[in-house]
Structure 1
Amino acid sequence: MTESSQDGATSLEPWARALLRCPVTGAELVDGTDENGQPVLVSQDPERPLVYPVRDGIPVLLADEARPA
């Protein structure tokens, strides 16, 4: 993994990025920003979208850290 970039939440290699999934729903995760402009990963589950923080360029994919989108 590498540090956070300005273009997205994470600067992972494409193959590694494609492997990331929501630990709660298994849905794909996409880059986003929260209401404060901080990077997040957003679960693309239409029934239960969740948001995960990215701290120092590292996605925090813990169920306890997720919040509703």
Structure 2
Amino acid sequence: MTLEQGKTGGHAIDPWLLSILVCPVTRTPLTHDAAADELISDAAGLAFPIRDGVPVLLIEAARPL
């Protein structure tokens, strides 16, 4: 399993999965914000949600930073 429920309600992402996920806008690596349960693209200035343990890498679903 690549995503596990964390103690704070967020999800812990497997480091291998995080290493292959990229921003759909800039194709740069993402960082995980466990507190907000989001994947962050600093290059694009966007935060992508993780919903029910699934990273949603749709531009329409992202929020600006």
Q: TM-score, normalised by structure 2?
A: 0.73
Q: Distance in 2 between matches of 1:65 and 1:41?
A: 12
Contact 2:39-2:55 within 8 A present in 1 as well:
yes
- Deviation (angstroms), 1:68: 1.0
Q: Distance in 1 between matches of 2:26 and 2:36?
A: 23
CA RMSD of aligned residues (A): 2.2
Provide structure 1 residue ranges, at least 5 long, that are not aligned to the other structure.
none
Q: How many residues align?
A: 63
- State the AA in 2 paired with 1:67: R
| Identical pairs, percent | 37
Deviating beyond 6 angstroms after TM superposition, the runs of 4 or more aligned structure 1 residues are none
Q: TM-score, normalised by structure 1?
A: 0.69
